[in-house]
Amino acid sequence: MGKDSVPYDGTIRLVGHRVREVQPGVVQVEAQITCEGRTFNGAASGPVDPPERLRVPALATLRALDACLQIFYLGVSEPALVLDSVVEVSVGDFPVAVVMITASEKANTTPLVAACPLVGMSDLAIILATLQATTRTVSHWLTWGDRSPGTEEQDRPQ
């Protein structure tokens, strides 16, 4: 592979999700994403009651992203996405989910944050906020692995 070629040229998309109560007081969320024509699943379980309940869809999404990284990441370092917090806040009269994640690759850590209105199904809003927070970083990891981008990439505005 040449110096200027990149192994990854795709996007990460949400395919679907499923929420079910697996036993009284315990909910399971499954998130399904697609990347480069392949589908990746992540699942997480937790209590039905807030605030811990808010973490379940975010964890399921991060597990699907991790499965994608296990297949497509080209490098010796192991990048990681760690869920720091999921909170519900009010913006005006609207509830909003805010997701905070720490992304780490090699010795670099970056805080990632995104928010999504909690309209209708809160699980979907939290999954979307998690993807919004992480997609740019994960796409960068998949494009470059643990190689440094060329000077053209470094000079390009973010």
Residue 9 has pLDDT above 60, yes or no: no
Q: Prior bond to 24 cis, omega within 30?
A: no
Phi-psi bin for 123: left (phi > 0), alpha (psi -120 to 50), beta?
A: alpha
Instruction: Dihedral sign for Cα 92, 122, 46, 49, please.
Output: positive
Q: Which of 95, 35, 22, 86 is nearest to 65 (CA)?
A: 35
Per-residue model confidence (pLDDT) at position 10: 65
Higher model confidence: residue 139 or residue 151? Answer: 139
pLDDT tens column, 116-136 = 999 877 999 999 999 999 999
Q: Kindly state the DSSP code that residue 96 receives in the 8-state scheme.
A: E
Q: Read off φ and ψ for residue 58, nearest 5 degrees.
A: -65, -45
Under CATH, to which class is 12-148 assigned?
Answer: alpha beta
Per-residue model confidence (pLDDT) at position 1: 41
Higher model confidence: residue 58 or residue 139? Answer: 58
